[in-house]
Amino acid sequence: MFLNVSLLFLLGCQSSTTDRGPIAWASGIEILRAQSQVRVPAVVLLRSGWLEQAVCTPETRTHESIFAILAEPSELHAALLVAGGLPGEPGAPPHLDNSGQPPTGSRLHIAMEHEGHLQRLQDLIVDDRSGGSLQGDFVFAGSRLVEWEGETRYLADDEGSVVGLATFGDELAGYSEARSASLEHAPAVFRPNATVLPPPGTDVVLCFTVNPADEG
């Protein structure tokens, strides 16, 4: 559950090497550097209910997420660095007269691969405000490093925020709209698209592709 900061730095440096072949990573993660893509095993959790997360880790926010990845968020973070991603900052949720701050970082194209087919994460989520698929983007926010009892910890490893829809401020990847998780400030509007999602318990692969047009 703890992030080795020196290892993360080393992995970021590795991304500048000339080898562009696939890399087998921790916990079944695969890095396709030529495509700026990271592939991570995951499992479907929900096809109904309200969502505050799109992706979490097992035994964390599984009641409000579509998928759980079968890897640590810090392992995915390091893999995204190798794939060329640039982390920004998690967002700040709106509160009262404060409009909040959306997360920043390299834009990510996130898709589910199942039975040879790819579907964008946005198309797996219904936004009840429009009745259609989720609009907007996801970005590599990078979660946060925190000190706890003499240890440096990667916050998303503890909290399970892999891809956030509501803005918690701890997400590895975040939705481009700053949105409060409090129902007092924002009604629930996101739900799974049951017409295209496989049944809960289905093994899938989530593909995170760094958009090179957003670099720099």
Residue 135 lies in a domain: yes
Q: How far, in Å, CA of 107 to CA of 174, rounded?
A: 10
Residue 210 lies in a domain: no
Residue 40 lies in a domain: yes
- As a whole number, mean pLDDT of residues 51-64 equals 96
Element (H, E) at 81: helix 73-82
Residue 126 lies in a domain: yes
pLDDT number for residue 5: 45
Asked which of 16-20, 78-82, 206-210 is least confident by mean pLDDT, the reply is 16-20
Residue 124 lies in a domain: yes
pLDDT number for residue 46: 96
Which residue range forms the structural domain that includes residue 150? 5-11+24-199
pLDDT tens digits along 107-154: 999 999 999 999 999 999 999 999 999 999 999 999 999 988 888 999
Residue 206 lies in a domain: no
Residue 208 lies in a domain: no
The DSSP bridge partners found for residue 68 are: 43, 56
pLDDT tens digits along 162-185: 999 999 999 999 999 888 765 566
Structure tokens at 184: 């007092």
What average pLDDT does the structure give for the chain? 88
In the chain, the number of structural domains is 1
The answer to whether the predicted template modeling score (pTM) of the entire model surpasses 0.95 is: no
Residue 215 lies in a domain: no
Spatial CA neighbour of 37 closest among 26, 21, 49, 58: 21
